[in-house]
Chain A
Amino acid sequence: MRFAVLRFPGSNCDQDCLRTLRDSFGEKAESVWHKDTSLRGFDTIIVPGGFSYGDYLRCGAIARYSPVMRAVAEEAARGTPVLGICNGFQILCEAGLLPGALVRNRGLHFICRQVHLLLENDTSLFTRAGHTGQVLRIPVAHGEGCYFADEATLRRLEDGNRVAFRYCDAHGEVTAENNPNGSLRNIAGILNESGNVLGMMPHPERACEERLGSTDGRIVFESLLGSALAATR
């Protein structure tokens, strides 16, 4: 499988993604500069975390106008899986490929720690290696990760089974105490309407090896790899 990992000025988790895909999974992963205009030939596109354009104006607000984002929109429309992690999630929201927005954490602190996530939809391209109700331990690292959307959008997401992950406790209980950033309905990750774009604040690429404290992030990549295998059959 051939992965594109986008790189904007200020991206930093692109290296984590490339390393995880190459070393933990043995897959082909290429860095794609934000000025590139084509993403043809890639099986999956990853919009990685970091601080694109220094988070100037709003997180992701300037990156969404980078030339490569037009290609991301084209590929997303074609059905290619697009995974936005952290700043990548913010960029996809700014670009209108996912609904809602990510605002300053309720507690104002930058949060960098392991959190628990409840997997809510095991039918998506990104989660099918797991099972609904499964609790994952995956780290977050963000200052602006509070998911916000209006009531109608939240209802559409929930009715369409498009909430992929929610913040929860170790037993899978979705509680206010286990919401690290104030996200509405504890939302940590959402899918687009066609199910081929996922945005999530936690970093699955940082949870793929035992020595990093958790391998639960593998589910996201194994799901993508399994989906690709299924498609070629």
Chain B
Amino acid sequence: MKIRVTVLPKPSVLDPQGVAVAGAMKHLGWDQPGRVRVGKVIEIEAPGGRPSEEKLHAICRDLLSNPVIEDYTVDFVE
């Protein structure tokens, strides 16, 4: 199984990459994108099964994201 962690900038943090990407969409002929945020996806293989909920959130909160500037979500992929 795999654990997929998605990390995105918090809405309160200016995301200049997202702004630039939204601008580029206009070059492709779509001139009405709303807010675009650019983050990252971290895929973790877990052949031995998933860690405890507590451990997993500690990893997401203390390493994979910075709670000052980012939010994260966790998905499990079979």
- In the complex the two chains form, is A57's CB within 8 Å of B63's CB? yes
- In the complex the two chains form, is A101's CB within 8 Å of B63's CB? no
Complex contacts, B68 vs chain A, CB 8 Å = 93, 99-101, 148-150
Of B12, B20, B64, B69, which is within 8 A of A57 by CB? B64
Q: What residue in chain A is nearest B67 (Cβ atoms)? A: A101
B15-51 at interface with A (beta carbon < 8 Å): 15-17, 20
Min Cβ gap B43→A in Å is: 14
CA distance A108 to B13 in the complex (A): 14
CA distance A59 to B22 in the complex (A): 24
CA distance A107 to B20 in the complex (A): 10
- In the complex, whether B14 has a CB less than 8 A from a CB of chain A is yes
SS of A interface (majority)? loop
- In the complex, whether B6 has a CB less than 8 A from a CB of chain A is no
CA distance A32 to B63 in the complex (A): 24
Of A58, A100, A104, which is within 8 A of B17 by CB? A104
- In the complex the two chains form, is B66's CB within 8 Å of A104's CB? no
- In the complex, whether A182 has a CB less than 8 A from a CB of chain B is yes
Min Cβ gap B44→A in Å is: 13
Min Cβ gap B61→A in Å is: 12
- In the complex the two chains form, is B13's CB within 8 Å of A103's CB? yes
Min Cβ gap B58→A in Å is: 12
Min Cβ gap A152→B in Å is: 12
- In the complex the two chains form, is B17's CB within 8 Å of A108's CB? yes
Complex contacts, B14 vs chain A, CB 8 Å = 103, 106, 146, 148, 182
Min Cβ gap A93→B in Å is: 8
CA distance A105 to B17 in the complex (A): 10
Complex contacts, B66 vs chain A, CB 8 Å = 58, 61, 94, 101
CA distance A108 to B20 in the complex (A): 9
Q: Could you say which of A58, A150, A182 has the most chain B C-beta atoms within 10 Å of its C-beta?
A: A58
Complex contacts, A99 vs chain B, CB 8 Å = 68
Contact surface of B with A, Cβ cutoff 8 Å: 9, 12-17, 20, 63-64, 66, 68-69
Q: Can you report 20 A-B residue pairs in the complex whose CB atoms are below 8 A from each other?
A: A57-B63, A58-B66, A61-B63, A100-B68, A101-B66, A101-B68, A103-B9, A103-B14, A106-B14, A107-B16, A108-B16, A108-B17, A108-B20, A146-B14, A148-B13, A148-B14, A148-B68, A149-B68, A150-B12, A182-B16
